[in-house]
């Protein structure tokens, strides 16, 4: 298979891991095993350690001094703001809500590409942006608190901020992947990220009672660290190395489907008409936004 084919597989697997992670992370946080910021530090430090341990698999490249600032910005948007908002938002919202909101990322990436890369926006794309963001607003404002989801609008807002931050991260890392092998800079990305989230996470992590963890909870936490962080960040960077950023983000369309199906299978979420309508608005929006890109190139 060609490198592009492997890149498509990598982009698909990233969404599979993320889709399942919505439920796993929700179980660990809402179950009271680890508070959100403590879980983030555990996640970033654990994955960062793995990246440093396995960095020998990549080529020996030296990062230019000026690029360290770009890597630091990537850590700010792709790790610190991204994860802090996502996990904090998870305290208040539900897996399906969070996953569907993340589908606006392709729209945000298009907006950023238009601003920074001077990409032309046609009327079809403008309509798509309006539809997609309308769906996100509907989903964000809808929802009654449940026993484990106390403030759905606030949770959805934090997840939306996470989506914006992740989109900026995609733009930043795209430039780096064209210059370096992923292993060359991702270890530094996570080192900076661990330093940034340490003040938020350490107070919560030191209060964790590890004795309350069941084998399944250990598995869920381990999956988030190894599968949804170490593996996904690496696969995503590989996909960005071979494909356009707009193509990689289109795979996010699969995330609500995977997350929703898995959440309903394990009984942690349900589907209703409002969520379906909001999802349709978002899907219609992102389809119109990326229509020309899909036709012209992979």
**The pLDDT of residue 92:** 81
> Is position 18 within any domain?
yes
Residue listed under structure tokens 């439920």: 23
Could you tell me if residue 61 is inside a domain? yes
Residue 191 domain flag: yes
- Write phi, then psi, for 79 (nearest 5 degrees): -125, -60
pLDDT at 257: 66
Total domains in the chain come to 1
So what's the pLDDT on residue 201? 96
Q: Is residue 237 part of a domain?
A: yes
pLDDT tens, position by position, for the chain (298 residues)?
788 889 889 988 998 898 788 778 878 887 889 998 999 999 999 999 999 999 988 888 999 999 999 999 999 999 999 999 988 887 788 767 776 787 788 888 878 877 876 767 678 877 877 887 787 777 656 655 444 556 788 888 998 999 899 999 988 888 888 889 888 989 999 999 999 999 999 999 999 999 999 999 999 999 999 999 999 999 999 888 888 777 788 777 777 667 667 767 777 666 778 878 887 888 887 777 666 554 444 5
Instruction: Say if 278 falls within a structural domain.
Output: no
pLDDT at 245: 79
How far out from the chain centre does Cα 201 lie? Answer: 19
CA 103 from centre of chain: 10
pLDDT of residue 25: 83
Domain region containing 29? 3-103+145-242+255-262
Query: Are the C-beta atoms of 230 and 47 separated by less than 8 Å?
Result: yes
Which tokens go with 223?
A: 């999956």
Enter the tokens of residue 46. 């654990």
On whether residue 31 sits in a domain, the answer given is yes
User: Which of 269, 290, 286 is CA-nearest to residue 278?
Assistant: 286
pTM listed for this prediction: 0.81
Provide DSSP, 246-257: HHHHHGGGHHHH
Check residue 294 and give its pLDDT: 46
| Residue 114 belongs to a domain | no
Q: Look at residue 205 and tell me if it is in a domain.
A: yes
Neighbours of 295 (CB within 10 A): 7
The per-residue b/e assignment along 44-79, b for 16 or more CB within 10 angstroms, e otherwise, is: bbbbbbbbeeebeebeeeeeeeebeebbbbbbbbbb
């Amino acid at each position: 298979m060609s490198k592009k084919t492997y890149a498509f597989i990598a982009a698909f697997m990233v969404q599979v891991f993320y889709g399942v992670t919505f439920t796993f992370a929700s179980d660990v946080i809402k179950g009271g095993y680890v508070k959100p910021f403590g879980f983030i530090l555990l996640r970033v430090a654990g994955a960062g350690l793995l990246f440093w341990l396995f960095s020998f698999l990549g080529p020996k490249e030296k990062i230019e001094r000026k690029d360290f600032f770009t890597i630091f910005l990537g850590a700010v948007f792709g790790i610190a703001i991204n994860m802090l908002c996502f996990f904090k938002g998870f305290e208040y919202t539900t897996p399906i809500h969070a996953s569907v909101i993340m589908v606006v990322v392709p729209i945000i990436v298009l907006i950023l590409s238009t601003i920074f890369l001077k990409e032309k926006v046609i009327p079809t794309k403008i309509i798509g942006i309006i539809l997609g963001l309308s769906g996100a607003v509907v989903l964000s404002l809808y929802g009654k608190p449940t026993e484990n989801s106390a403030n759905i609008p606030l949770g959805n807002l934090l997840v939306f901020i996470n989506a914006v931050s992740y989109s900026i991260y995609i733009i930043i890392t795209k430039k780096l992947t064209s210059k370096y092998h992923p292993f060359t800079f991702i270890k530094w990305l996570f080192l900076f990220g661990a330093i940034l989230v340490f003040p938020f996470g350490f107070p919560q992590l030191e209060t964790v009672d590890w004795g309350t963890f069941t084998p399944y909870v250990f598995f869920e936490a381990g999956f988030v660290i190894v599968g949804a962080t170490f593996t996904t960040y690496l696969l995503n960077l590989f996909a960005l190395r071979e494909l356009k950023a707009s193509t990689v983000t289109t795979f996010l369309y699969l995330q609500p489907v995977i997350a929703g199906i898995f959440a309903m299978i394990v009984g942690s979420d349900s589907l209703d008409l409002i969520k379906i309508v909001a999802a349709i608005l978002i899907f219609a929006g992102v389809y119109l936004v990326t229509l020309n890109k899909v036709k012209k190139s992979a």
